[in-house]
Chain A
Amino acid sequence: MRLHFALNGEEIACDAEPDALLIDVIRDLGLTGTKEGCAVGVCGACTVLVREVPVCSCLYLAAMAEGAPVWTVEGIAKRDPALVECFVEREGMQCGICTPGQVVSAFALGLEHDSATEEEIRGFMSGNLCRCTGYVTITEAVRSYLDHR
């Protein structure tokens, strides 16, 4: 089937199977920032924004994004460079595989609730697993981003 959506602000059209997952369509378009981890919607490494709402693209049918704005980490990094800067400054990453999902979720939190408390940050970000850091520096990075917004 023919798909049309706005990927990182740019209108695109592509062919995809009706049961294709959004993560595969995005990655096949060359945007490999979006990562597959658990593939069952738990770890959050594949998080992207569809209609400004964070979704697990590993569970999301690409067809459901028809006509919608879709933002991946590559687009978010351009939309708000300060966000990535906060993750770098606070070292909110180690191996980096969860980082794209963390960045997209942090952006979504900023859209939704930019005065979140630490507990609210931890709650909102709990769908983005990290095995390396223990979450201390990631939470600091998100805090710093919300403070700077």
Chain B
Amino acid sequence: MRYVNDVSLPGMTYVAVARSSVPHARIRSIDTSVAASQPGVIGVFTAKDLQVSTYGRSVRDVSVLADDKVRYVGERVAAVVAESRVAAEAAAELVEVTYDELPAVFTAEEAIAPGAPTVHDAPWAYPRAFITEEQGQNRQSVVEEGSLEAVEEALQKSAFVVDETYTTSAIHQGYLEPQACVADVEPSGKVRLWLTNKSPYILRSQIADCLGIEADSIEVQPIALGGDFGGKGSPEEAPLCVALARLVGRPTKMVLRYTEDLLSTDARHPARIYVRIGCDTDGNITAWSQDALLDGGAYGGFKPAPTVSIHGALEPGGYRIPAFYSRSVIAYTNTVPKGHMRAPGAPQATFATESAMDELALKVGLEPADLRYRNLLRTGEADVNGREWIEFRGQETLDAALAALRIREDAPAGWASGVGISVYSRTTPTSTSSSMRLVPMPDGRLSCEIGVIETGTGSHTVARELLAKGLAMLPEDIDVVQVSTDELPTDPGAGGSRVTASLAMVADQAIKAWRARLEDEPVLVVVDEKGGPPVGSYGVQIAQVAVDPETGQVKVLEILSTVDVAEIINEKSHQMQIDGGAAMGFGYACLEDLDESDGQVWSANLGDFKLPSSRDVPDFKTVLVRGGRGVGTANVKNIGETTTPPTAAAIANAVADAVGARIRDLPIRAERVLALIEAAP
């Protein structure tokens, strides 16, 4: 396995950057003279040296190096190119920047308040901006669905209403391979690029637009990725490294220190979600409103879309809701730019709405599972948007979860035990635009060339097994190789729980073309599938916790994940997505928090930003509810993002069950639980 940091080219130079120490300021001056005179330094560069525009995956609002203004602590201000990484880093410390500090906004609430300082003067003017001037200052996106009037009216008539606000913290994807880039510009202008990026085909135009070159002059090289989870989709440091490679005429390499990843990449949005759910005397939902305000940080361009879906359990239209309203506002603030992370939007929303469902059950006097059961959609019903689905299997999945539950009896003496449930379902993408080439090898083996990068999810194994089955070959006789972006026409990249479904669609075409070929020569297929009716995979989680009433400490004993599945291509890879997803949900619920305040990240290393270790994680149990109907001829449902979103609510609901403390703010830390226990009447 070769990762970006393992790439070494002749004549390599090393890049380190000086980063802003203040959250919001005009740059008065930058003195690079001391840095430039250090041994081993080739050059020190600022925005005025670069011929670039702003960049991004969606909205093009990110500066390669800060121009006149910095907008968050950690923003790139100047770049050092040196003969070694150590020399570059040492010199970057010596860049002297003088700032005229500006008033700043550190939370989404502050940002949207009337008269707030503006992070960007005219954010609607950036290419591909998602907002208009009329929508107000400091907005990255505003998305509204449903009818607020209908909800207000229905809530008035509801027998029971829950009306609460929930908050979630900013967390990092926590991949263990820091972001890195190697750029080489040939005399012809051709750019060879090795980047920790999971969407190489789409990446090219994002970089090309920024540098003012042709997308097809950039060849993104195949490379292994040391974890992604949504964090490795943007152009990252590539525009800078390519621009610097052109300036110094040698290849450049930049590897972030992990603190830089935490400070400056694309953490999950923290959110404040105001939830109102009403029901009748029997517990039938009458109205549902979710109003979310998310902190998008200083730039929106690290996200593949300027929005996140806050639909939570509603992603596939999970519950039957007569009156529905949803609003999500992402604000610009002077904090770390936020991005997408495993099921973007859903962990925040599911924590809020699935906690609220338990609070509603308490009011109605129903068991939490019963309230959910009676409101889950059945196959044939339409979702809140009136769409038909292939099937809904929420009730079957919930039944299977309850049947498999075994109450734990290993809570420490004197601790209270609790059980909590949470439901989520995620849509399986039914469209793709991808390609694959099958190449016969002289020894009878088959080489399969794909554009999909192996992010660690087992996608190459899935491709091998799909082809082996379709061509009646042994998997070991098929080599799956990721090729450079010059070698294939297109691929959508990893993400959105799409890889298996997408691979299945393109493999299906490749198998047909291979069988129909007349000569023993390579077969190339390009698929542009628009997709049929959607389907979701339900994930019902039941958490069991023990809570120390003296200290508020929460020990999560077990997470039982019950998952609605169709065909499974590789059982082990599928299971590891379930376990790894639940572990990440546990970290979000109980441990992780970037701890941003006053524009600073206080958990700026992996000692303070606490990822779950092998000793922290609970026992993971799984029940697969087989027999579902998936998409495509391979009949698959997504899995990579199904088990992360429901975990936090399941644990919070279990804590409430154990000690009556209703946690409405993540993460669930002992001091929060203890304060609630002590405040209880």
Contacts and interface: CB of A to CB of B under 8 A. Distances in A.
A42 B572 contact: no
B227 A132 contact: yes
B175 interface: yes
A10 B313 CA distance: 58
A57 interface: no
Chain A: interface size category: 35 or more
Interface in B276-327: none
Contacts of B259: 39
Q: B177, B178, B575, B613: which has the most chain A beta carbons within 10 Å?
A: B613
Contacts of A41: 607
B620 A129 contact: no
A134 B620 contact: yes
B256 to A, nearest CB: 10
B620 A122 contact: no
Interface stretch (B119-127, B469-477, B579-587): B579-587
Nearest to B586: A134
Contacts of A95: 175-177, 224-228, 454-456
Contact of B576 (A45, A94, A96, A98): A94
Contacts of A96: 1, 224, 226, 456
B611 interface: yes
A146 B177 CA distance: 28
A94 B617 CA distance: 17
Interface in A2-40: 17, 24, 32, 35-40
Interface residues of B, number: 47
DSSP majority for the B interface?
loop
A41 B5 CA distance: 18
Contacts of B576: 91, 94, 132-134, 136-137
Given A38-B605, A95-B226, A122-B614, A129 B258 contact: no
Interface in A64-96: 91, 94-96
B617 A134 contact: yes
Given A39-B258, A40-B258, A97 B226 contact: yes
Interface in B336-378: none
Given A36-B178, A95-B227, A125-B614, 14 more contacts: A37-B178, A39-B258, A39-B259, A91-B576, A95-B175, A97-B177, A97-B456, A126-B614, A126-B615, A126-B616, A134-B579, A134-B582, A136-B575, A139-B614
22 contacts: A32-B5, A35-B177, A36-B5, A38-B258, A38-B605, A41-B607, A91-B572, A94-B576, A95-B177, A97-B227, A121-B614, A122-B615, A127-B613, A128-B614, A130-B614, A131-B584, A132-B227, A132-B456, A133-B583, A134-B579, A135-B617, A137-B572
Interface of B: 1-3, 5-6, 86, 173-178, 224-229, 255, 257-259, 454-458, 572-573, 575-576, 579-584, 605-607, 611, 613-617, 620
